[in-house]
Structure 1
Amino acid sequence: MYTIPASGHLMINRDSHAAKQLRLLKKALCADEIVPYLGPDLLRLKPGQPPVPHTPHAVAAAFNARAPAPSKIRKNMWSVAQYIEQRRHRRTLQAWMAEIFAGPAAPTVFHAWLATLPLSLIVDSWYDGAMRAALAETGRTDVVEVQGVARVDTMGDIWTKTYDLSGAELQPGSTATTVLYTPHGSIKPAANFLIADSDYVEALTEIDIQTPIPPAVKERRTKRGFFFFGCRFDDQMLRTYARQVIKRSSGPHFAVMDSAKLTKNERRFLAASAIAVIDMPAADAAAQLVGTGV
């Protein structure tokens, strides 16, 4: 049985308690009772330097290598992207993002394991496309990906686009056994990116009433909690999106994180959202879940 944290109190599971929660989470994932919410730190499960940036700061650095931004915004990915859009045009920003995430980022064994499970919903919060690639490698045909798109790149009241694993665009609202939701966009199949501050203006205006959240996500989260893996919440944008994606879900929620590295804002967010921390190195947690090395 899960230990469910109370809102406002940060629960941290360590040692044997962490291992026990992971065993329960593995059963929950296999039974489609919890939603994996994946972040860019998963790219560090493979040895060596990730082939694409795995933090917002690293993306900002990649932008600055192409066109240095003012020092006061230089470390903020969203602000640097906005600076590039204003000075160099949207096409340049899109092209540079496509270059930065050309990768390719190969799936880890953890991605591959998740791809075999009968999960109703997977959330991938980074641009690298590794989870999509893992699903495609299985040969499954019962998966659709719903990507967030920038309103500047669309016409009409469109917040997302839907694709199958071959890259074909589907009708809005198309669903399948597994829905992969990439709220910030992805390099594959069409290089859709929410990245600049302006991309989020309308989304953040509407997100509190859930307009940008796809109906399939709203429906499939209702009786499930979320399991955050490879995520950090040290920026307000990341916290805002995570809070709205898990809104009106039933819980419980868990996150594999190093508690010693949590910022004050992360601790407040995790406590307020009733997300229990599993304090364990990501590689160890992934190996326990998969049952092998990653």
Structure 2
Amino acid sequence: MSSTVFSEILNGLYENRIVPYLGPGVLFDASNKATGAAMPATGESLILAMNNGKPMAPKLMYEFPRAAMNLELKRGRNFLGQFLTKLYGETEWTRASVHNWLATWKPAYVIDINRDTQLQDSYADEEHTLIAGLARISASPFRFKIYHFDGSHYLEILQEQVDASLPILFKPMGTAKPEANFIASDADYVDYITELMGGFAIPDFLKEYRKGKQYLFIGLPLNRDSERMVMSDIIYGAAEKKGWVLNKNPTDKEQRFCKKLGLEIIDAGVEELLNAVEFSSATAA
């Protein structure tokens, strides 16, 4: 990676011109405090955790939403919510180094497609706005809930009540707290993406705030349609050069997609980013 390009990216991050967009790869070094097992975050590891460690049929192992849909049809939608709540809301995990790094400078806006709570924990000592995605509801046309964190508790608020000066934590695939709501199965994604494309999955204030921003995609594979469709709509209105993707081994499909969207692929991974900012599990301890 060019040191000049990396300096440009880091300066943009620290000046809040570039938005961190977090994928499952940022959790690579988070582990179960009791057993030492790695936190399930990638599609395959999530599927195995959801199915008691047993692989599913190859066509289901391809993508977590597909496998989740299969088990939802067999065991009901509540099964998925209970599984993800136990995994991310009731199990104690060690902190991921990326989250410890983010906690040292607290970006003004972060997008995190993981369903764990480590990003929220990083802001536990200051006020912030949390936007949590949700799907397949009839009570409202919107596919999000907005919460104000006052330094000790979350309170659900309306769009009009948002304090625009506070940091924004956007968890489009949901989170385990303050309420457990998750987007997991194919049916969830279809509903969420449909409303995202229709403008009902992003609050109006965020549609304005995101204009002209650039993004750094950290630990996010772009070889699955669900992640790509969610991402391309969330960053709508970005600068002409939309940003950078950390990916040491991009597939042809990823290269074509990034070129079409205006994203530059950087030959580096999450660990190289942490090394560049001189931050690791050891320094975080």
Q: What is the TM-score of this pair, normalised by structure 1?
A: 0.83
* Partner residue, 1:104: 92
Q: For residue 248 of structure 1, give the secondary structure of its aligned residue in structure 2.
A: coil
Identity level (%): 24
Instruction: Give the gaps of 5 or more residues in structure 2.
Output: none
Instruction: Give the gaps of 5 or more residues in structure 1.
Output: 1-13
1:1-294 equivalences in 2 (<5 Å): 14=1, 17=2, 19-45=3-29, 51-65=38-52, 72-101=59-88, 102-117=90-105, 119-136=107-124, 139-141=125-127, 143-152=128-137, 155-165=139-149, 166-173=152-159, 174-176=162-164, 177-250=166-239, 251-258=241-248, 261-289=249-277, 291-294=278-281
Q: For residue 158 of structure 1, give the secondary structure of its aligned residue in structure 2.
A: coil
Q: For residue 111 of structure 2, give the secondary structure of its aligned residue in structure 1.
A: strand
Cα offset for 1:270? 1.1
The 1:118/1:83 distance shift into structure 2, 3 A limit, reads closer
Output the CA distance in 2 between the equivalents of 1:163 and 1:106: 25
Letter in 1 for 2:10: K
Letter in 2 for 1:170: E
Letter in 1 for 2:60: I
Letter in 1 for 2:42: T
Q: For residue 65 of structure 1, give the secondary structure of its aligned residue in structure 2.
A: coil
Letter in 2 for 1:79: R
Q: What is the TM-score of this pair, normalised by structure 2?
A: 0.85
The 1:256/1:76 distance shift into structure 2, 3 A limit, reads closer
The 1:208/1:98 distance shift into structure 2, 3 A limit, reads same
Output the CA distance in 1 between the equivalents of 2:54 and 2:203: 35
Q: For residue 32 of structure 1, give the secondary structure of its aligned residue in structure 2.
A: coil
For the 8 Å contact 2:246–2:266, the answer to whether it is kept is: yes
Cα offset for 1:238? 0.6
Output the CA distance in 1 between the equivalents of 2:57 and 2:139: 32
1:223-248 deviation digits (Å, cap 9, x = unpaired): 21111111111110011111111111
* Partner residue, 1:3: none
Q: RCO greater where, 1 or 2, for CA within 8 Å and sep 6 or more?
A: 1
1:94-127 deviation digits (Å, cap 9, x = unpaired): 1112223344344334323323436331100111
1:110-166 deviation digits (Å, cap 9, x = unpaired): 323323436331100111221111121xx112x1110001224x6222310122344
Output the CA distance in 1 between the equivalents of 2:37 and 2:263: 27
Q: CA RMSD in A?
A: 2.4
Letter in 2 for 1:257: N
Output the CA distance in 2 between the equivalents of 1:96 and 1:110: 25
